[in-house]
């Protein structure tokens, strides 16, 4: 199936039509800056613009940065507070005229990486997928099956959200060297390791393309690998969720 996947981020809203059998994009990737303020009508308007550019009128899959249950947002840490308890799928559907399936953005990216980035052996046991960018998103898998809405970026570490200590945005705002940031990120990873004891950690998001710059500074026991799909994972996973009518 060829389905439009939308990745809603803090700085940009991205979309492309995806062949969900191969995980390949079949149209150009459209990116439009996330509006300020990022209220529901403004974000939905951008998604409607992307569907118009791509002349798309079928089902849409969307990854959204919040806890999502049956299309409703139950958190709003990295989006405008007016999204709390909002019907995300309904709002986007009204703006686009399309049926919409919505899930957490990191869950979407993780789905794509587990399906198209990892080999079968790597999906055995517990896999923790992390997107590291504006924040830290997480997706947890047991034998390839998603355990949705983990939101580990908001886990408190010494009284502070993990993502406020070790996201890529935190690295840039504090002007940290890769070694300094690696130390902070190691603290976060060790906490996840202690609590969940995963068999594999996969690092996604924009920072995955820079893995060689900080790999040596990550000091944990669990095996870590960079994601293969990088920033396309969210779009691909959102489209996959729509193709499978995934209702979380």
pLDDT digits (tens, 9 = 90+) for 78-134: 789 999 999 999 999 999 999 999 999 999 999 999 999 999 999 999 999 999 988
**Does residue 248 have a pLDDT over 90?**
no
Is 192 within 8 Å of 202 (Cβ atoms)?
A: no
State the Cα–Cα distance between residues 162 and 153, nearest whole angstrom: 5
The whole-angstrom separation of Cα 55 and Cα 97 is 12
pLDDT of residue 76: 87
Query: Is-contact 147 157, C-beta < 8 A?
Result: no
Whole-angstrom distance, CA of residue 174 vs CA of residue 243: 41
As a whole-number percent, the residues of the chain with pLDDT over 90 amount to 91
pLDDT > 90? residue 54: yes
Q: Which domains does the chain carry?
A: 2-107+232-243 (3.30.420.40), 119-228 (3.30.420.40)
Asked if residues 11 and 28 have their Cβ atoms less than 8 Å apart, the reply is no
pLDDT recorded at residue 35:
93
Average pLDDT, the chain: 95
Q: What is the pLDDT of residue 38?
A: 92
∠ at Cα 16 (120, 211), nearest 5°?
Answer: 50
Q: Are 100 and 92 in contact (CB under 8 A)?
A: yes
């Amino acid at each position: 199936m060829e389905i439009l996947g939308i990745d809603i981020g803090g700085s940009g809203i991205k979309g492309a039509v995806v062949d969900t059998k191969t995980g390949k994009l079949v149209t150009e990737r459209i990116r439009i800056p996330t509006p300020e303020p990022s209220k529901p009508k403004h974000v939905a308007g951008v998604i409607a613009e992307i569907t118009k550019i791509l002349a798309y009128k079928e089902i849409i899959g969307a990854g959204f940065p919040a806890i999502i249950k049956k299309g409703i947002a139950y958190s709003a840490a990295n989006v405008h507070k007016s999204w709390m308890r909002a019907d995300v799928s309904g709002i986007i559907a009204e703006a686009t005229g399309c049926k919409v399936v919505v899930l957490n953005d990191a869950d979407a990216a993780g789905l794509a990486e587990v399906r198209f980035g990892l080999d079968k052996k790597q999906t055995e046991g517990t896999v923790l997928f992390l997107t590291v960018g504006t924040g830290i998103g997480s997706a947890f898998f047991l034998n390839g099956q998603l355990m949705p809405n983990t939101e580990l970026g908001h886990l408190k570490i010494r009284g502070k959200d993990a993502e406020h200590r070790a996201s890529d945005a935190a690295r840039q705002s504090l002007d940290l060297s890769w070694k300094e940031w690696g130390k902070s990120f190691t603290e976060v990873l060790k906490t996840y390791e202690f609590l969940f004891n995963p068999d594999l950690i996969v690092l996604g998001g924009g920072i995955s393309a820079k893995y060689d710059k900080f790999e040596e500074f990550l000091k944990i026991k669990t095996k870590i690998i960079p994601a293969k799909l990088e920033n396309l994972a969210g779009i691909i996973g959102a489209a996959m969720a729509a193709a499978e009518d995934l209702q979380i």
